[in-house]
Chain A
């Protein structure tokens, strides 16, 4: 099919970059996207390599960094890197919250960190701890959130919607509100990393997701963000991401699907010019939802989930109710279950 729709925006260089600082973690999440190990792999970028890369980004006009993992605070040199970024970038950090202490939260505040996003996977300890695989992690995450708020660090909660927590999302909103959080986000479950092996156990149908979101009553003073219809953006036009090994992967949700080159062997902006990267940023798709395009300014919805379920980069995003076309999101294509998934046929070659 001829792709006739494309993103209206174009960037010569990225303005924000996501850094998967480590693929190690202190938890054992059954939904882990990075297939984390307890100890960092020897081939992860060193502190010096990260600092040099961050200087390079600063010199090339990047203004925002999102650090995630794995669990970034699990690597002992993380705060050295955060301090290096201080007040040069808008710094956001995604964390499981369990390693945050009041002293560390104050340090983050002093370093000028913009926002910390904490994954809290349910309203109840039993749910959260089941998903993280570590008893007590719920209480430790909440203690981390309280420490951040006490230190005056802008803090948001994240929840990845799945079968284990779908019944308690309203209570999760109430929990966030009670903690004093002002902004939360509900995220879709992506078929990457460890969760692929548990997809049937954890994935919801689109109807189940939509019903859960539609039923929510957001407490006054709390802002809820989500990326389902009518907010399903094709973010590729502005995305840049580098994993813990220095691979340029465009977006952390594309981490197993693309590889634009290594920042160890070429300047990052050379990877930015990789033909597939350019193609995905152009956002040429064969169908787009008008409502989502209007709200997000981009066309076709998420490319990661579109590719995962259809094996084509220009396919419709099945997480969008107007583009789903009967795709059962509880059933992952078998080719996606491999470590380096490639669809059968020309798209996978």
Chain B
């Protein structure tokens, strides 16, 4: 994935890639439901929520996604 500012390329693991794909314009609840639909099984719901949280922290920390008011 390319982040324009400052310019940098990232290689995402599958979990982060899925979170990135699902979170475009999605509200937090919608994102979590969509993520769990994909990841449970094989993960249980608690493990999937933890993994989503880790992925979102990675994406936000590195400037690849941001939370907006429109998304809730």
Interface residues of A (CB under 8 A from B): 63-64, 87-91, 112-114
- The stretch among B2-10, B14-22, B48-56 that forms the contact with chain A is B2-10
**Quick check: B9 and A64 within 8 Å, CB to CB?**
yes
**With a CB–CB cut-off of 8 A, which chain B residues contact A63?**
1-2, 9
Grouping DSSP codes into helix (H, G, I), strand (E, B) and loop, the B interface class, with mixed when no group exceeds half, is loop
**Quick check: A114 and B1 within 8 Å, CB to CB?**
no
**Quick check: B8 and A87 within 8 Å, CB to CB?**
no
Interface residues of B (CB under 8 A from A): 1-2, 4-5, 7-9
22 contacts between A and B (CB under 8 A): A63-B1, A63-B2, A63-B9, A64-B2, A64-B9, A87-B4, A87-B5, A87-B7, A88-B4, A89-B2, A90-B2, A90-B7, A90-B8, A90-B9, A91-B7, A112-B4, A112-B5, A112-B7, A113-B7, A114-B7, A114-B8, A114-B9
**With a CB–CB cut-off of 8 A, which chain A residues contact B1?**
63
Q: Which chain A residue has the least Cβ–Cβ distance from B1?
A: A63
**With a CB–CB cut-off of 8 A, which chain B residues contact A90?**
2, 7-9
**With a CB–CB cut-off of 8 A, which chain A residues contact B2?**
63-64, 89-90
Q: How far is the CA of A114 from the CA of B9 in the complex (A)?
A: 9
Q: How far is the CA of A112 from the CA of B3 in the complex (A)?
A: 11
**With a CB–CB cut-off of 8 A, which chain B residues contact A88?**
4
Q: Which chain A residue has the least Cβ–Cβ distance from B7?
A: A114
**With a CB–CB cut-off of 8 A, which chain A residues contact B8?**
90, 114
